[in-house]
Chain A
Amino acid sequence: MTGAEAGGRAVARRGLRISLTALVALAGVYILVLGYTPVEAKQGLAQKIFYLHVPAAWCALLAFSLVGVASLLYLWLHDARLDRFAAASAEVGVAFAAVMLTTGPIWAKPIWGTWWTWDARLTLTLFLFFLFIGYLALRAAVHDPGERARFSAVVGILGMLLVPFIHLSVYLFRTLHPQPIVLKPSAPSLPPEMLRTLLISFVVFTTLYVGLVSLRYGLSLVQEAAEEARDGG
């Protein structure tokens, strides 16, 4: 095993440790949500889905925004670490988007009476999900590292441009989706017990994002080191 490969495995192991810690903390969030956080009077127990859906949406949009930032910086600086980070953040973002796009309809069915509606927020989010699936497919299809980084950086920047539209879509369009309750100009509109649980869930999900990105980044380092060793030998 080369030094670079060992380094990559160490980064991956650190990512695994952070991720496992976050998953244990997620079990704590479950206990908090089910045992201590009050039940909302109109929506009943289904409202508690929001303690997973909203942090998952936050992580997905954070991940895709950081793909765009890293991609912009890559086109400027041509640093392979930025491309590696963008690839890791995109893949992890797709996982969080999958959580967002499954828990959302599970909440919508009892509250709206339908699993899905083609309103602006939902449609744009689904489009963003498909765009980043395309981003990952593009990376898998192009074998030259320089070309792969440049082409995918352009797609990553275009994906990032969708994020503010998704956040503001509830103001710009007539939509069924609830308006922001935390990330908005005025103070959060939630009872303190609910807000506390939501903020803890935000911290846990963000920690899981950091862990998964570290693990995915370490995987890239190991794969690159193995390829270099094969080409050299």
Chain B
Amino acid sequence: MAAELPQNGGYLIAAYIVTPVILVGYLVSLWRRVKRAGH
């Protein structure tokens, strides 16, 4: 009989939310700094 898969999908969802939050957040902050610079 095949072994049961561990039930840990919640951790996958957490990692797949945290990653774009950090990267998109950084991208937005960079672009806002470009917009503000020189004004």
Contacts and interface: CB of A to CB of B under 8 A. Distances in A.
A in complex with B: yes
Contact of B11 (A109, A215, A226): A109
B27 A44 contact: no
A44 B38 contact: no
B29 to A, nearest CB: 10
Contacts of A109: 11
A97 to B, nearest CB: 10
Contacts of B22: 95, 98-99, 102
A117 interface: no
Chain A interface size, under 10 / 10 to 19 / 20 to 34 / 35 or more: 35 or more
Contacts of A9: 34
B14 to A, nearest CB: 5
B33 to A, nearest CB: 6
A30 B23 CA distance: 15
Interface string B1-33: 001011111011011101110111011001101
A53 B30 contact: no
B38 A46 contact: no
A110 B33 contact: no
Nearest to A16: B31
Contact of A26 (B5, B15, B18, B20): B20
Contact of A107 (B6, B9, B11, B23): B11
A114 to B, nearest CB: 13
Nearest to A44: B6
Residue of B15, B18, B27 with highest tally of chain A CB at under 10 A: B15
A46 B16 contact: no
Contacts of B3: 41
Contact of A110 (B11, B24, B27, B34): B11
Nearest to B26: A95
Interface of B: 3, 5-9, 11-12, 14-16, 18-20, 22-24, 26-27, 30-31, 33-34, 37-38
Given A5-B38, A41-B5, A43-B6, 12 more contacts: A9-B34, A16-B31, A26-B23, A41-B3, A44-B8, A99-B22, A106-B11, A106-B15, A215-B30, A219-B34, A222-B34, A226-B37
